[in-house]
Structure 1
Amino acid sequence: MTAPDAEPAPSPPGLSDRDRALLALERRSWAGPGAKERAIREELGISPVRYFQLLNALIEDERALREDPVTVNRLRRLRAARRERR
């Protein structure tokens, strides 16, 4: 039991705007080759290589899973399938 005037434990902070932008970009469908890479550079201002590094780390974050379970679980399945093929 906690003291009546004790503050509750802080919850972990949510995702950053950049993390939300990564997930939003990943949810979209792409018209053709190069469209996604172009959007990564134009909208996020980072290279596609850096995008995929950040995205790979992000899908391990439980906050991302809570924020967008469909996208995160899809990305986790795709990554697992790629690993199995190696």
Structure 2
Amino acid sequence: MTTGEQDAAQDDGSGLGALARALLAVERRSWPGPGAKERAVREQLGLSPTRYYQLLNALLDDPRALAHDPVTVNRLRRVRAERERRRR
């Protein structure tokens, strides 16, 4: 995540900017069907799905994200690790 994106409307006390908190909030939700999450990402966050996943992947390595939402971050880290294992 770039400094500008991170600083945009910074800080609820977690050390995470508004965008980082919004990314985690999107991942906490369950989605009804294919395309719903990507549509919400475009409409609510103004990001392309590709950029969203780039930012989310970087966020998973941020200790502040883990402190802010450990359940979501740990779940996403497990999913990422499983995908990496399958690629090998």
TM range, smaller chain: 0.7 to 0.9
Q: Deviations over 1:12-38 (max 9, x none)?
A: x70000000000001000000110000
Give distance in 1, aligned partners of 2:34 and 2:83: 20
The number of aligned residues is: 74
TM-score when normalising by structure 1: 0.84
Pairwise mapping of residues 1-80 of structure 1 onto structure 2 (< 5 A)? 14-80=15-81
Q: Which runs of 5 or more residues in structure 2 are unaligned?
A: 1-13
Flag the structure with larger Rg: 1
Q: 1:77: Cα distance to partner?
A: 0.2
Corresponding residue SS for 1:66: helix
Name the aligned partner's letter for residue 17 of structure 1.
A
Question: Post-superposition, which runs of at least 4 consecutive aligned residues in structure 1 deviate over 2 A?
Answer: none
Give distance in 2, aligned partners of 1:85 and 1:18: 30
